[in-house]
Amino acid sequence: MPAAHLLLALAVVFVWGTNFVVIKLGLAELPPFLFATLRFLLSAFPFVLFIRRPAVPWHKLALFGVLLGAGQFGLLFYAMRADISPGLASLVVQTQVFFTIGLSMLLHRERPRLAQGVALALAVAGMAVIAAHLSDAVTLWGLVLVTLAALHWAGANLVAKSAGRIDMLGFMVWSSVFAVPPLAMLSLVFDGPAAMAQGLAHAGWAAWAAVLWQALGNTLFGYGAWNWLLARHAAATVTPMALLVPVFGMGASAWMLGEPLPGWKLLAAALVLAGLSLNVLASRWALPLSMAKT
C-alpha cells in the first residue's frame, strides 16, 4: 500500500475511533434508531440531488445501504444506548476483520491458514474476557448486538469490494438513500412515535452536531475513503488497519467520558488486537490449517 493510501487509512480509523464518543453524546438526546436515520438521511440529502449515481447496479447500492445502515449502525447505536460502553464497542466491532476475511474465504473457496486460526483464537479469548465481566456497563445483549453489527459491516465491505473502482463518494451518497427506510421503520417500532417526536423537539446543538459529524465525517469521508481503498487493495490488506480503531476509541472514551480501563479490559483489548495483528501477518503466510495436522 502506497504511503498516501496508508495515511488515508490512518485518518479514517482515527475518525472512526474517536467517533464512538460522538455517538454516545448523540444518544444522550436522540433515540438510537432515530439517530441512525438522521445520520443517513443527511448523508444522502441534499447530495443526491447533484452527485451523479455511480455506475453500480441498484441492488448493490441497496444491499450496501441496508447492511451498513440498519445492520451495522442500527444495531451498534441500539447497543450503545445502555448495553455497552463506547470503548468496548469500538473494540468488539472490530471483529468485522475476521468476518470479512472469513466471508471472503467462503465465497472464493480459499483455505484458512494456521496463523488465521491462531488469530481467531486470540480474538475469541479476548471476547471471553469481556463476557466474563458482564455488568451494567456491558451486558451480554450488548455484546451480541455489537458482534452482529460487525458481521453486517463485513458484508458491507464485500459489497463495496465487488463494486470495483468507482466514485466512492457517490456510492456512499446513493447507498445512504436505501439505509433510511429500514432505519425509519425500526425507529417507529423500537423507539416509538412519542420518543421520536420528543427527540426531534428537544435535541440541542450537541445532538445535531453529532448527527452532522456522523453524516459528513464518519459516513461520507470515512466510508467513502475506506471503500475507495478496498477497491484498490486486497480486503486482507485494508481491513486489518481497523485494528487501530479501538486504540483511538478506548483512549478517547477514557479521556473525554471518563470510561475506566481496568486490567481485564486492557487484557481483552490486548488479546483482540493481537489476533487482529496476527491476521496482517497471516495474509503473507501460506501454511494451510490442514497442513498442521500432518
Q: Is the pLDDT of residue 281 over 60?
A: yes
Tell me the pLDDT tens digit for each residue of 49-80.
Answer: 999 999 999 999 999 999 999 999 999 999 99
Q: If pLDDT is split at 50, 70 and 90, which confidence band does 237 have?
A: confident
Give the mean pLDDT of 10-21: 91
Q: Is the pLDDT of residue 234 over 80?
A: no
- Structural contact between residues 2 and 177, judged by C-beta atoms closer than 8 angstroms: no
Tell me the pLDDT tens digit for each residue of 138-177.
Answer: 999 999 999 999 999 999 989 988 888 888 889 999 999 9
Looking at residue 101, its pLDDT comes to 81
Tell me the pLDDT tens digit for each residue of 92-128.
Answer: 998 888 888 888 878 777 666 777 788 889 989 999 9
Helix (H, G, I), strand (E, B) or coil at 246: helix
Looking at residue 291, its pLDDT comes to 37
Looking at residue 103, its pLDDT comes to 85
Q: How far is CA 134 from CA 85, 125, 128, 258, in A?
A: 11, 15, 10, 19
d(C-alpha 270, C-alpha 264), whole Å: 10
109: phi > 0 → left, psi -120 to 50 → alpha, else beta; which? left
Task: Render 119-144 in DSSP notation, one character per residue.
Answer: HHHHHHHHHHHHHTT-SSSS-HHHHH
Among 27-31, 94-98, 196-200, whose mean pLDDT is lowest? 94-98
Looking at residue 243, its pLDDT comes to 75
Give the mean pLDDT of 241-246: 81
Tell me the pLDDT tens digit for each residue of 172-195.
Answer: 999 999 999 999 999 999 999 999
Looking at residue 157, its pLDDT comes to 87
Looking at residue 236, its pLDDT comes to 66
Give the mean pLDDT of 34-41: 96
Sequence-separated contacts (24+) of 221-226 with Cβ below 8 Å: 221/12, 221/15, 222/12, 222/15, 222/16, 222/19, 223/68, 223/172, 224/168, 224/169, 224/171, 224/172, 225/8, 225/9, 225/11, 225/12, 225/168, 226/9, 226/12, 226/160
Looking at residue 283, its pLDDT comes to 60
Looking at residue 223, its pLDDT comes to 82
